Amino acid sequence: MSSPPSGEEAAEAGRAETVHDLLRRRAEREPEQTAIDVAGAATLSFGQWEERSNGAARALIAAGVRRGTRVALLFSDQDWIDYAVAYLGVLKAGGTAVHLSDEIPPAEVRRRCAQTGPAGVVHSSGLVPPDRLGGWTRPVTELTGDTAPVEVATAPDDLADILYTSGTTGPAKAYTNPHSTLLHGRRPAGLRRFDNSAPLLAPMPMGTPSSAMSASLMPLNSPATVILCRPGDIETMGRLIAERGVATVMLTPWTAMRMVAAKLGERYDLTSVTTMAIASAPLPAPTALALRKMMPGIAVNTAYAQGEAVPAVILGSYDPDRPLALGRPAPGTELMLDRSGRGARARRHDR
């Protein structure tokens, strides 16, 4: 069963109904705070994010975007800042973001656009979108306008995102996220358990549910700067941890296994890391043990949910004495077992 929200979470729930509500409040409180750092090469503050996404929203409204209009976001792997600006601009205009990446084959991009029917495509500067997508295409550099707040009515049940599953068991499938699902259990207090004095490193791929979180709720909820980099660039990860004193690293088991295989701790000082947060798949026990050996004293925390089932999630912390333990339902998640105890499913619990 879910636990009741804290006083802070309940108060925030009464004030913020959408992702862009959270951005506005962070920009009001901490305009100079760095929200997103792209591998140490470029940064975006909350104040800049708020103003630039306001301008983007106005440009999208001028292009015909209205409440419920779908807009595809097609971005390159490290174009995180423009992606974050365009994403929040779509939401502020009342639209629904369809998340894509230039790493997706052109035929698959066309399939997804045919399925979701976006009115247009916003893309990275210098990127040439595949042909036959339908609607208009516009580089993010053209999304500029008055940076004053945008007043477009958005309800909690309006769709914020159309995302796709990973496609590991067949063609990737589309699913939708309304604003209420995005915010359920993810108020600004949501990441308070992480170290707020040092950055959080998130090696994430573009055009996925992970990228949508990394360019919205992760930095908006985090008390510390979120550093983003390519998930396959293990050496850059080691350098950033050592140079920036990263306290929390959020990654997949695949990336964790690559860190171990690369013996990253032999070339970089990783002692600042206190927490490894693992998601997307179960973490093999030998990898968890190797991580703890490479970074003594770290907590290895796990989170598991189907993308389309989020925010229903199972949270755990690796215990070498119970290596197969999956964890417990997070607040807001109800776990149901059949009578034999062999089958289970988790679902969002609103009461």
pLDDT tens digits along 136-148: 999 999 999 999 9
Q: Residue 1: what pLDDT?
A: 31
**Domain 45-180 listed as CATH 3.40.50.980:** yes
pLDDT for 349 beyond 60: no
Q: Rounded to two decimals, what is the model's pTM?
A: 0.86
Q: Residue 147: what pLDDT?
A: 94
Give which of 232, 236, 204, 230 is closest to 217, Cα–Cα: 204
Q: What are phi and psi of 108, to 5 degrees?
A: -70, -35
Beta-bridge mates of residue 201: 227, 249
SS3 329: strand
Rg value, the chain, Cα? 20
Positive/negative CA dihedral, 134, 138, 144, 145: negative
pLDDT for 122 beyond 60: yes
- Please give the residue that has the higher pLDDT: either 321 or 253: 253
Task: Give, as one character, the DSSP assignment of residue 144.
Answer: -
Q: Residue 284: what pLDDT?
A: 87
Q: How confident is the model at residue 166 (pLDDT cuts 50, 70, 90)?
A: confident
pLDDT single digits (tens) 79-116: 999 999 999 999 999 999 999 999 999 999 999 999 99
Q: How confident is the model at residue 297 (pLDDT cuts 50, 70, 90)?
A: confident
Domain boundaries, the chain: 45-180, 231-348
User: What's the token pair of residue 18?
Assistant: 């959408």
Quote the CA–CA distance of 45 and 28 in Å, as a whole number: 12
Identify the top-confidence range among 11-20, 196-205, 244-253. 244-253
Q: What are phi and psi of 215, to 5 degrees?
A: -105, 20
pLDDT for 351 beyond 50: no
Kindly state the percentage of the chain with pLDDT values over 70.
85
Quote the CA–CA distance of 244 and 330 in Å, as a whole number: 30
Q: Residue 6: what pLDDT?
A: 41
Quote the CA–CA distance of 327 and 317 in Å, as a whole number: 7
User: What's the token pair of residue 150?
Assistant: 């945008």
pLDDT for 52 beyond 50: yes
Amino acid symbol at 334: E
Q: Residue 2: what pLDDT?
A: 32
User: What's the token pair of residue 8?
Assistant: 């802070």
For residue 194, give Cα distances in angstroms to 7, 62, 190, 220, 221: 19, 41, 9, 14, 11
Cα 271 from chain centre: 26
Q: How confident is the model at residue 186 (pLDDT cuts 50, 70, 90)?
A: low
pLDDT for 15 beyond 70: no
pLDDT single digits (tens) 232-289: 899 999 999 999 999 999 988 999 999 999 999 999 999 999 999 988 777 888 999 9
**Domain 231-348 listed as CATH 3.90.1010.10:** no
Q: Residue 346: what pLDDT?
A: 54
Task: Say if residues 247 and 198 touch (Cβ distance below 8 Å).
Answer: yes
Q: Residue 176: what pLDDT?
A: 92
Q: Residue 185: what pLDDT?
A: 61
- From first CA to last CA, the distance across the chain in angstroms is 9
pLDDT for 309 beyond 70: no
Give which of 125, 141, 118, 131 is closest to 56, Cα–Cα: 141
Residue appearing with tokens 């915010």: 183
Tell me the average pLDDT of the chain: 85
Q: Residue 348: what pLDDT?
A: 53
Shared fold status for 45-180 and 231-348: yes
